[in-house]
Structure 1
Amino acid sequence: LGLLDSLFTALDEQQMSYHLFDEVFPNPTEALVQKGYAAYREAGCDYLIAFGGGSPIDTAKAIKILTANPGPSTAYSGVGKVKNAGVPLVAINTTAGTAAEMTSNAVIIDAERQVKEVIIDPNIIPDIAVDDASVMLDIPPSITAATGMDALTHAIEAFVSVGAHPLTDANALEAIRLINQWLPQAVDDGHNLEAREQMAFGQYLAGMAFNSAGLGLVHALAHQPGATHNLPHGVCNAILLPIIENFNRPNAVARFARVAQAMGVDTRGMSDEAASMEAINAIRALSKRVGIPQGFSQLGVSKADIEGWLDKALADPCAPCNPRTASRDEVRELYLEAL
């Protein structure tokens, strides 16, 4: 809680009372949201401050829903179902990152069904987003790598999304460039302030891109092992990213050629087809460089787990923006390749 001291000091100086709810865990569940909302009501609070990465911020977004709408928060899974905005929410981000501090997405696990419910609604966008690289300096290398690859996934999925447009393209390409350049440096030396700052910019730009363009099958498939095996979201994305984008590549060859350029590949003299393959190679190289596991089998996942994920992945709200439609059998093959 050392990072919170400056926040508490500022609140104390303004003579503002507050209640600390510090029970959030990775991959938050509806039960956690209900517990947090009960604490909010009991303390008689007027607004919310989320401090942390994607899990604390998503939890706060879900609590925000419950301050003005009947529960559970998972009932609002899908797009545009939250009728009322709820109380103000300030999101102070400490990772780079999920971009949860500025997006309209929240992911909450329905533990009974073992599925991640994706809530997408402008009414849950935090009212104030704060990114301060100085609070990111002590994030461990493994979390830096996982959250950084999550941000790269946001940028690439947004760039090849069926919902992409010139504004999201500009943000996504710059995010890819920044993350490719600075993530290894942030992993190698967490106290490299410039690397932390550039990663904060990169993940924010990626958030701006996918908040408008949407995501895709990487997230749709990644949500399932995250829900059933409690695996880090960024690691799940990173394992699946090169596999699914290689599947998508025939439908977006020219775009993947531009991804390669943004990742520092010298594509002069290459055809778009060749350059698009280099994009996939660059993704794999970056993932390996920052220490991401190269398959789900290293994380306790087996072939037997896959069958229960297929329908849930296809029903995930992130799937429709993917540039290539996948059949149930194709999703199975993608998971098998990711083992």
Structure 2
Amino acid sequence: MSNRIMLNQTSYHGSGAVNEIAAEVKSRGFKKALICSGPHVAKSDSAAKIKELLDDNNLPYEIFCEIKANPTIENVKKGVEAFKAAEADYIIALGGGSPIDTAKAIGIIINNPEFADVRSLEGVAPTKNPCVPIIAIPTTAGTAAEVTINYVITDVEKKRKFVCVDPHDIPIIAIVDPDMMRSMPKGLTAATGMDALTHAIEGYTTKGAWEMSDMFHLKAIELISRSLRGAVENTDEGREGMALGEYIAGMGFSNVGLGIAHSMAHTLGAVYDTPHGVACAMMLPIVMEYNQECTGEKYREIARAMGVENVDNMTSDQYRKAAIEAVRHLSEDVGIPAKLEALKEEDLPMLAESAKADACAPGNPKDADIEDFKTLFRKIMN
């Protein structure tokens, strides 16, 4: 059996990395950018910095900022129209996972017009051409969309999210600059950080995990656990650690998959518009409890990476409990709620069906049926 690793052509990391954008655009001969962002990011200091860099280097661009927090099919369609109208030849995706995911879908459709029906991109679509070149600049430390081959779109009509997995969509350049993340409010920092931790833990325990992905995920768990509290307080060390940790997690899970914490989070986001990171944080310790007997000694290494002491002297039951409690404790410390008020018993059949059908579910180390999903969802009900 072979294992595949796919990453960006080029990535830049650290404070000031964003200043590399002009040189990259010029060296690659790009002519005009469509900047994809959300409405709030478009008005931020981060967007002002990008526009300043482009203006100072006489690099033309137009802005498309009609992107929701959970990007929709309609957002993608309008983005395709905007790209064509701008006569652009590359995309700068600025923001969190939402604009980067939208940029991926836009770029794929532009170069693979037979997939203009956005729903046709669900799963592993047989696209033939690489997407429009994307320079991804995250302003959140969570999704790792800048380095992954995945993107998620919301189908508002059907009240569901669908996952697209396509090696043709990976941004050619990722610029991961913690300075671009400093304007994130505490709540968003916490939620996106817990999303990154979920990526790392699910990627480490998924059925597709192997030695190289394990290396990425364990280092990501260590960095995120050490840095998230500081990032929420906007310390330099916290921001820098989270910027690196979320990217490293993406290097891993993009190539091996995730599990049912993500499939359930996708469902909660589609039905209740729950922020993705909050939904992941709610589900992660619950799913870890469900999976624990199918993970061998991995929870010992998760506990160790999260700073739990004396794990080598613990029984398997003890280090598994310690790992789960470390996750719960971190989530509580950064202010993530444990319950979802909107969730109701009568919604459970629909939620369970949707979560089971999600593209992330097959990677879970323990198979789950409809009744299992209902039971797990109940654990976050008031």
For 1:218 and 1:139, how far apart are their aligned partners in 2?
24
The residue that corresponds to 2:240 in the other structure is 197
Residue identity opposite 2:201 in structure 1: I
2:91 aligned with 1:48 = yes
For 1:7 and 1:337, how far apart are their aligned partners in 2?
43
**Would the aligned equivalents of 1:74 and 1:119 in 2 still touch at CA under 8 Å?**
no
Q: CA deviation at 1:305?
A: 2.0
- Root-mean-square deviation (CA), in Å? 1.1
**Would the aligned equivalents of 2:46 and 2:139 in 1 still touch at CA under 8 Å?**
no
The residue that corresponds to 1:322 in the other structure is 364
**Would the aligned equivalents of 2:230 and 2:237 in 1 still touch at CA under 8 Å?**
no
Q: How does 1:215-294 map to 2 (within 5 A)?
A: 215-266=258-309, 267-294=311-338
For 1:54 and 1:328, how far apart are their aligned partners in 2?
29
Residue identity opposite 2:172 in structure 1: D
The residue that corresponds to 1:333 in the other structure is 375
Q: CA deviation at 1:96?
A: 0.5
**Worse overlay, 256-265 or 5-14:** 5-14
Q: CA deviation at 1:24?
A: 1.2
2:357 aligned with 1:312 = no
Q: CA deviation at 1:76?
A: 1.2
Q: CA deviation at 1:92?
A: 0.6
Residues 139-168 of structure 1: CA deviation (Å, up to 9, x unaligned): 000000000000000000010011111111
Using structure 2 for the length normalisation, give the TM-score.
Answer: 0.86
**Would the aligned equivalents of 1:80 and 1:122 in 2 still touch at CA under 8 Å?**
no
The residue that corresponds to 2:135 in the other structure is 90
Q: Percent identity?
A: 43
Instruction: Say which of 186, 189, 192 aligns to 2:231.
Output: 186
**Would the aligned equivalents of 1:254 and 1:273 in 2 still touch at CA under 8 Å?**
no
Q: CA deviation at 1:285?
A: 0.7
The residue that corresponds to 1:101 in the other structure is 146
Q: How does 1:136-147 map to 2 (within 5 A)?
A: 136-147=181-192
Residues 271-303 of structure 1: CA deviation (Å, up to 9, x unaligned): 122101111111111111110011112xx2222
**Would the aligned equivalents of 2:259 and 2:363 in 1 still touch at CA under 8 Å?**
yes
**Would the aligned equivalents of 1:65 and 1:73 in 2 still touch at CA under 8 Å?**
no
For 2:286 and 2:362, how far apart are their aligned partners in 1?
18
Q: CA deviation at 1:26?
A: 0.2
Q: CA deviation at 1:56?
A: 0.7
For 1:80 and 1:167, how far apart are their aligned partners in 2?
26
For 1:83 and 1:153, how far apart are their aligned partners in 2?
31
Residue identity opposite 1:284 in structure 2: R
For 1:318 and 1:81, how far apart are their aligned partners in 2?
18
Q: How does 1:66-215 map to 2 (within 5 A)?
A: 66-69=109-112, 70=114, 71-187=116-232, 189-190=233-234, 192-215=235-258
Aligned residue pairs total 335
Secondary structure at the counterpart of residue 20 of structure 1: strand
Q: Which runs of 5+ in 2 are unaligned?
A: 1-42
**Would the aligned equivalents of 1:116 and 1:227 in 2 still touch at CA under 8 Å?**
yes
For 2:175 and 2:238, how far apart are their aligned partners in 1?
18
Segments of 4+ moved more than 3 angstroms: none
For 2:85 and 2:251, how far apart are their aligned partners in 1?
35
Q: CA deviation at 1:86?
A: 2.4
**Would the aligned equivalents of 2:149 and 2:166 in 1 still touch at CA under 8 Å?**
yes
Q: Which runs of 5+ in 1 are unaligned?
A: none
Residue identity opposite 1:161 in structure 2: T
**Would the aligned equivalents of 1:28 and 1:109 in 2 still touch at CA under 8 Å?**
yes
For 1:127 and 1:33, how far apart are their aligned partners in 2?
20
